[in-house]
Amino acid sequence: MVPRGTGVIQLSLNDKRDINRTTIGQDKHPLIIVDGFLENPENLVTSAGQLDDFSSDDGNFYPGVRKPTPDAYISCLTTFLEHFLGASCDVLSSMFSIVNQDPSTLKPMQSIPHFDTSNKNQLGVVHYLCGPEQGGTSFYRHKATGFERITDERKSRYLRTLERQATTSGLPKPGYIDGETDLFERFAKVEAKFNRLIIYPSNLLHTGDILKVDTQNQDIKSLRLTTTNFVRVF
């Protein structure tokens, strides 16, 4: 069940949006970039409320706080995806998200790229409600295995390799990853842009490009505000 936001807000899709469909990586993974997604994105930002309305979730590794998006947004997202993809879509989760965790406090798993699921039928959708100064999203290849996408068949081998590397190479230092490391290399990057939406397979190794974190700032309009969405296609 998708967590639902509260309140009534007016949102509509932008008929003049610009859609760029491309592929990335050695295996040519699909990536869709939609600029000008909503006609009235400022309404969505307003509906996010204040930082005090957000909360952290100890049940996952997200380095920040979240809040459910409103029903009107989920409706817009579903309408667009089903029309564009020509398939039925189920929005599993849709959350406003703000990264605000101090880099020095990150756990090892937060300091490397991640995959959301090994399910090949799930998409990740990020909608930037911030500018390029906050950082976009990057996609990575695991050097030892060559994996860019973690499928059900690859998952065990990938996790075993990471575990072995933790004992031989050591754990990564706390901090947000930005570019190549001893274990990973970046093969694609999308810049953040206000009202830009990106769509990609959820099992790609990826991470947000967190360029700055201000743990004292309470103004969400000057923070890395996005919506993060998980969508099953069938």
C-alpha dist (Å) from residue 112 to 15, 39, 95, 181, 206: 38, 35, 22, 9, 9
What pLDDT was estimated at residue 8?
A: 74
Look up residue 99 and give its two tokens: 């990264």
Query: For every one of its 234 residues, what pLDDT tens digit does the chain have, with 9 covering 90 and above?
Result: 455 554 579 999 999 999 999 999 999 999 999 999 999 999 999 999 999 999 998 778 999 999 999 999 999 999 999 999 999 999 999 999 999 999 999 999 999 999 999 999 999 999 999 999 999 999 999 999 999 999 999 999 999 999 999 999 999 999 999 999 999 999 999 999 999 999 999 999 999 999 989 888 999 999 999 999 999 999
Q: Provide the b/e sequence for 56-80 (b: ≥16 CB within 10 Å).
A: eeeeeebbbbbbbbbbbbbebbbeb
d(CA 208, CA 139): 9
Question: Sign of the C-alpha dihedral, residues 110, 113, 134, 89?
Answer: negative
Domains of the chain: 22-107+119-233 (2.60.120)
Whole-prediction pTM value?
0.95
Measured at the alpha carbon of residue 141, what is the angle toward residues 36 and 165, in degrees to the nearest 5?
140
DSSP conformational letter for 89 = E
Q: CA 202 from chain center: how many Å? A: 9
Look up residue 203 and give its two tokens: 């099992």
d(CA 228, CA 130): 13
